[in-house]
Amino acid sequence: MFDYTFLWPLVWAEWPQLLAGARVTLEITILSMAVATVAAFPLALARRAGKGLSCQAATIWVEAARNTPCLVQIYMVYFGLGALGLHIGSYFAVLGAITFNNTGYLAEMFRGGLNAVAPQQFNAGRSLGLTAFQTYKNIIFPQVFRIVYFPFVNQITWAMLNSSLGMIIGLRELTGATQMAQSVSFRTFEFFVVAAGLYYAIAKSVQILARVVAWRAFRRA
């Protein structure tokens, strides 16, 4: 039954292509996380306000991002905006959709973190004569940062995994590049095993790096 010979040299011949794909994957992961982190803060604060137009808009964003498949979100940006006459390339479509997705998840995460800090701490800071900004900067955020840190690292992995959906709309990130590379020889299994290994290596590096950073940052506690 098993008369298949694995041919790995074919994969190594395309190694540079896979690495180029991995670079695009990393790029999208880092950029989308950076933009989403910045965008998620106002959303979390708006959701905490509990009423008003901005809260409703933030709620719609968060729930739409969390309750529809990421692939639908990517299609929406790529084909949906295209139907409106706004044509964007697959790179920015994937980047935009994953940023939208990340922002929804991160906003909820930050909101949970802010809720976990007792409100008395804010009042205490204020009564010690700190300004509201100083209170946030020196008292609230350091605590939120500690609560949110590991879920945030998980979200980085999720962003990386979700960027693989770029293959479906023809982006040459790691999965897409592998798909292109294997289409010459159709050694699908060998190529995607190597791609899986690369994803695993990236995910593990992120986690190890995160642990080192956590060890340095939270050591005093």
Partner 1 sequence: MARLQTGLNVMQFVLPYSGLQWSDLPFMLEGAWRTIMLTIMAGSLGTLLGVIVGWLRETFVSFRIGLIPFIDVIRSVPLIIQFILVNSFQSILGLQFDPFWIGVVTLSIYMAVLTSELVRAGLQSVRPELSRAGRSLGMSYWQGFLHIRAPLAIRTALPGWIGALIALTKDTALVSVIGYIELLRAAQVLINRSNEALLILAGVGLFYFVICYPVSLYARRLERRLAI
Q: Which residues bind partner 1 (CB under 8 A)?
A: 1-2, 4, 63-64, 66-73, 75-76, 79-80, 82-84, 157, 161-162, 164-165, 167-168, 175, 188-189, 192-193, 195-196, 199-200, 203-204
Neighbouring C-alpha atoms within 13 Å toward the C-beta of 88: 17
CB of 200 to partner 1, least distance (A): 5
CB of 191 to partner 1, least distance (A): 9
CB of 3 or CB of 221, closer to partner 1: 3
Buried b (16+ CB within 10 A) or exposed e, 151-168: ebbebbbbbbbbbbbbbb
CB of 41 to partner 1, least distance (A): 22
CB of 47 to partner 1, least distance (A): 14
CB of 148 or CB of 160, closer to partner 1: 160
Q: What are phi and psi of 96, to 5 degrees?
A: -65, -45
CB of 125 or CB of 166, closer to partner 1: 166
CB of 9 or CB of 85, closer to partner 1: 85
In sequence order, the 6+-apart residues with CB closer than 8 A to the CB of 148 are 109, 110, 112, 113
Q: Tokens 């979200």 label which residue?
A: 155
Question: Taking phi first (over 0 means left), then psi (-120 to 50 degrees means alpha), and beta for anything else, what does residue 171 get?
Answer: beta
Q: What are phi and psi of 219, to 5 degrees?
A: -55, -40
CB of 149 to partner 1, least distance (A): 19
CB of 144 or CB of 156, closer to partner 1: 156
CB of 4 or CB of 215, closer to partner 1: 4
Q: What's the rounded Cα separation, in Å, for the pair 184 and 10? A: 10
Identity at 170, one-letter amino acid code: G
Q: What angle do CA 104, 110, 112 make, to 5 degrees?
A: 105
CB of 52 to partner 1, least distance (A): 21
